[in-house]
Amino acid sequence: MRKLLNVLYVTTPESYLSKDGMNVVVSVDQEEKFRIPIVNIEGIVAFGYKGASPGLMKLCADNGVSLSFLSPNGRFIGRFQGPVRGNVLLRKTQYQISDDKESALHFAQLFVAGKIQNYRTILQRFVRDNGGNMGVETAIKSLEASKHWALNAKEVGSLIGVEGDAANTYFGVFPHLLLQKKEEFPFHGRNKRPPKDAVNALLSFVYTLLANETAAALETVGLDPYVGFMHTLRPGRTSLALDLMEEMRAYLGDRLVLSLINRKQVTPNDFVMQGESGVVMTDNCRKTVLTAWQNRKKETFVHPYLEEKIPVGLLPYAQSLLLARAIRGDIDDYPVFLIH
């Protein structure tokens, strides 16, 4: 199994990235603030518009380090990746599956069914830990039906409809999972572009982090993150990463957001309304979330299919590896990740 390296998150919008020998250097107003050897990281995520030097980009490309740019509010801008080293035969098979409606639907069904089952598990754990709740228990039953419909969908369009209904059901009871002062974190369903409340701002932010890491993991195992089976092809859109991360949203994203709020690691004062950008996080809040994200990735668990203890941060890589094996035909089918 691959070694879990660090991702360097550059949160100061005025930061500029450059190289010095084999080191990544972060500077603000031409003053060096931080440096780290390139061999110690597997990715760089910069929140800002200052950019990076061509020399730094080449250093990243030569060492297989992805370089992603997000706006200060966490919206994805672009991603720089070095020369593709993937297995051309693997990618050719991936493209064939993407073009074949029946094969693409099969993988899409697994992604969505896994996502819905993990929604159910999150809600079931809430009931187990906090007692019965009629609204949550009704949602659990509804999601079980949605999972069945997902697995029996006849085409991707109807599958996307099932996924949307399941998400509405899940997020409809999500406020029950917010245990600390619900009035301070009002939530009336999922919204984005822009997020209209603090909870949605957090969800969008961690989903962006997950999408970026899933795309990098797919690149690592030789798959093309831009050619998916469910999300439509669009220039610059990592469609396969968006497909694959569906089953990991609840485990890596939602649970982190709930933890941050319920443990009072974030407060209403960490969020501000900013015009067309909606509700955004303060710089300190963003650093708090990134620290929690990095700490979460260091935790370990036993992967249900691999039966091996791995860091949580390697889950996108493990699932990418299993997806590549399924596409190659090395295993009978893709083993979707389910929370246990």
In which region does residue 186 sit, left (phi positive, over 0), alpha (psi from -120 to 50) or beta (all else)?
Answer: beta
pTM (two decimals): 0.84
Could you tell me the pLDDT band of residue 326, with boundaries at 50, 70 and 90?
A: very high
- Cα 47 to Cα 207: distance, rounded to the nearest angstrom: 15
Within 13 A of 176's CA, how many CA atoms are on the CB side? 22
- For the chain, domains (ranges, CATH) are 6-80 (3.100.10.20), 88-328 (1.20.120.920)
Q: Which residues of the chain form beta strands (DSSP E)?
A: 6-10, 15-20, 23-28, 31-37, 41-47, 66-70, 76-80, 271-273, 279-281, 300-302, 309-311
Digit-coded pLDDT (tens) for 153-183: 999 999 999 999 999 999 999 999 988 767 7
pLDDT for residue 278: 83
Sign of CA dihedral 87, 91, 92, 97: positive
112/150 Cα distance (integer angstroms): 7
Which pair of tokens denotes residue 212? 């970026």
Residue 75 clears pLDDT 80, i.e. is over it? no
Could you give the CA distance from residue 188 to residue 35 in angstroms, rounded to a whole number?
42
Q: Which residue in 53, 51, 12, 20 sits closest to 37, CA to CA?
A: 20
As a whole number of angstroms, the longest Cα–Cα distance in the chain is 61
Residue type, 18: S
Q: Is the pLDDT of residue 19 over 70?
A: yes
Q: What is the average pLDDT across 67-95?
A: 77
Q: What is the pLDDT of residue 84?
A: 62
What pLDDT was estimated at residue 144? 96
Q: How far apart are CA 69 and CA 9, in angstroms?
A: 10
Q: Where is mean pLDDT largest: 114-128, 268-282, 307-321?
A: 114-128
| pLDDT average, residue stretch 220-232 | 88
Across the strands, what pairs with 7? 43
Q: What confidence score (pLDDT) does residue 236 get?
A: 67
CA 20, 40, 207, 90 torsion-angle sign: positive
C-alpha R_g of the chain: 20
Cα angle at 215 between 294 and 165, to 5 degrees? 90
Cβ contact 11:286 at 8 Å:
yes
Range list of H helices, 51-87: 54-62
Query: Pairing mode, if any, of strands 76-80 and 66-70?
Result: antiparallel
DSSP 268-308: GGGEEE-GGG-EEE-HHHHHHHHHHHHHHHH-EEE-TTT--
